[in-house]
Amino acid sequence: MRRVFGGMAGRSSQKWWAIASVAVGTLVTVADIGEVNVAMPTIADRFNSDLATVQWLATGYLVATSALLMPMGRLSDMIGRKKVYICGLLIFTLGSGLAGAAPNLQMLILFRVLQGMGIGMVHGNQMAIMASVFPAEERGKALGFHMTIVGTALIIGPAIGGVMVDAFGWRSVFFLNIPLGLLCALAPLLILKESRAPQSDAKVGLGGFDWMGSFLSSAALMTFLIGLTNPFGWNTGLVAAVLASCVGLLAVFVAWEARAKAPMLEMALFRNSIFSLGVSARALGFVAAATILFLMPFYLQGVTGYSPGVAGAIMTSIAFGIVVVGPVAGRLSDRFGPRPFTVAGAVLSVFGLLTLSRITPDTALWVVMLGILLQSSGMGMFTAPNASSILSGVPRRSYGVVSGFVQLIRTASTVTGIGMATVVITLTMSSLGLEATLEGFAEGVDLEVGRAFTEGLRRVFLLMAGLQVVVVVLAAIHGRPAARSE
C-alpha cells in the first residue's frame, strides 16, 4: 500500500487515507475507556474495593496519559510522529494483556497505568497528524471527523464492554485489546510516511529535547492530581503541602520554559487571548463531562438495578450527540467561525447537567437519557470548533506539542472531574452516616445506600452545571480566530 503523510494538503484521497489510519487507533483506544468504565462496578465488587481505590483504574490511567502527552508531542515533532505513535500503540497493547492477567487490584491499577503511558504517546500525536495533513481552511472538518470517531468509540465502548463482562467476565475487556491494538499499529505502519517539524524549527534528535521541561511539567501534573484525589489517605496538612509543591513546580516550569533555547511549550502562546481563553474553556468543559462518564455506570447498575450489558447500552447515548453534532459543527465552524458553536454547545451542556442534577432513584430512564444526550450534544458542538480555534494561531513546528497540550487539557480535566466527584459523593454519603463503598454495586444496593449515592450525584451535577456556565462566558468573549500560521 502506498505510504502517505506530510505535504499532501492538495491530495484529497491521500489525506483521507492518512487520517483513516489514525482513526482506527482512536477508535480502539477511546472505546477502551468506556469498556473499562462499564466493567468497574464488577471489578470493585470482585476485589471488595471502595470508591477512592477503584477510581484509580480511571485516575491512574489518565495521570500516566496526561504526564506524557506534552513530552511525547514535543518528541514527535523532533524524531517523527509515526515512530512515537506506533510505539505508543504497542505499549498500550502490552499493558492491556498484563491487565487482563492481573492477580489483584493493585497490579491491575499498575498495568492500567502502563496502558496510559502508551496512550500518552498515541493521543499526543493524533491532532498533530491531522493538522499536518489538512490545510488550515479544512481543519474544522478534519477535527469534526475526529469527533465522529471519538463519538463512535464512546458508543461501542460501553456496549461492547457490557456484553463482554456479561458473557466472559471483566478480564475479557482487556484481552480484547491485544489483537485490536496490533491491528491498529499495522495500519499507520503501512500507510503513514514519517513526519516531523522542519530541522530549522527544532533540533532533531534526543539531544535537543527539553528534558528538564518534561520532568517539571510531569511532576507538577502528578503532584496536582495526587493532591486532588488523595489516594493514600493523607491528612489535610500533607495534602495541602503536596498541592503547594505543585504550585512551586508549575512556577519553576514556566520560568524554565521562558528561558529554554528549545522549550517544550512556548509561553508566548498564552499571550494570545484566543489561545488562553480557548484552553480555559476546554479545561472546564471536560471537568464537567468526566463526571457523567465515570459515575453514571454506578447509578445505572447499583441504584436502578440494570445489568452491565443494559447499562452499557444506555451509556452509548453519551456519544450519540457527539457523533451527530460534532462533524457538522466542525465543518460549519470553518465557514462561520468557532464562537457560535462553542457558545451554543456550552449552553446545551448546562441544560443537560441541570437535568441530571434533578434525578432520583426513581427517575424515568428517558429523563436520564435526555440529560446525557443534551450534555453530549453540547460537547460535540463545542469540542471541534474549540480545538480548531486553539490551533489557528499555532506555527506548524509546534503542532505536536500543542496537540499534546490540547489532549492534556482533556485528560487532566477528566481526572480533576473524577476527583472532585469522588470527594463530593464521599462527603455526602459520610454526612448521611454511610460508608462510600462500592461493594455490591454490580448487583444493586439497598434503598438507603442508593438514595445517599444519588444525593451525592445530584450535588456533583449541580456543581458541574455551575462550571459549565463559566464555559459559556469564556466562549462568548473568545473572539475571532487568530491569524493562521503555517
- Report which of 32, 38, 297 is spatially closest to residue 169, judged by C-alpha positions: 38
Q: Which three cell numbers, joined as nine digits, stand for 468?
A: 459549565
> By percentage, how much of the chain surpasses pLDDT 90?
18
Return the higher-pLDDT residue of 14 and 389. 389
Average pLDDT over all residues of the chain: 80
Residue-by-residue DSSP string for 199-231: TTTS--SGGGS-HHHHHHHHHHHHHHHHHHH-T
Dist. CA 9–CA 181, nearest whole Å: 28
> By percentage, how much of the chain surpasses pLDDT 70?
85
For the cut 80, the answer to whether the pLDDT of residue 119 exceeds it is yes
Query: In this structure, is the dihedral angle defined by the CA atoms of residues 236, 238, 242 and 247, taken in order, positive or negative?
Result: positive
Architecture label for domain 12-188+262-476: Up-down Bundle (1.20)
- Report which of 88, 143, 403, 130 is spatially closest to residue 264, judged by C-alpha positions: 403
pLDDT per residue as tens digits for the range 359-381: 988 888 899 889 988 998 898 88
173 in Cβ contact with 81 (< 8 Å)? no
Other Cβ atoms less than 10 A from the Cβ of 407: the count is: 26
Residue 344 contacts by C-beta under 8 Å, 6 or more apart in sequence? Answer: 378, 381
pLDDT per residue as tens digits for the range 1-37: 445 444 444 455 667 777 778 888 888 988 888 888 8
DSSP H helices in 55-206: 56-79, 81-100, 105-133, 139-168, 172-175, 177-191
DSSP tally for the chain: helices H, then strands E: 17, 0
C-alpha distances (whole Å) from 27 to each of 152, 316, 331, 419, 456 are 7, 14, 21, 26, 32
Q: Which residue in the block uniquely carries the three cell numbers 503555517?
A: 486
pLDDT band at 468 (very low <50, low <70, confident <90, very high): very high
Cα 287 from chain centroid (whole Å): 10
pLDDT per residue as tens digits for the range 296-338: 888 888 788 887 778 777 877 776 767 778 778 777 877 788 8
C-alpha distances (whole Å) from 265 to each of 38, 211, 270, 405, 445 are 36, 12, 10, 8, 48
Q: Is 0.85 topped by the overall pTM?
A: no
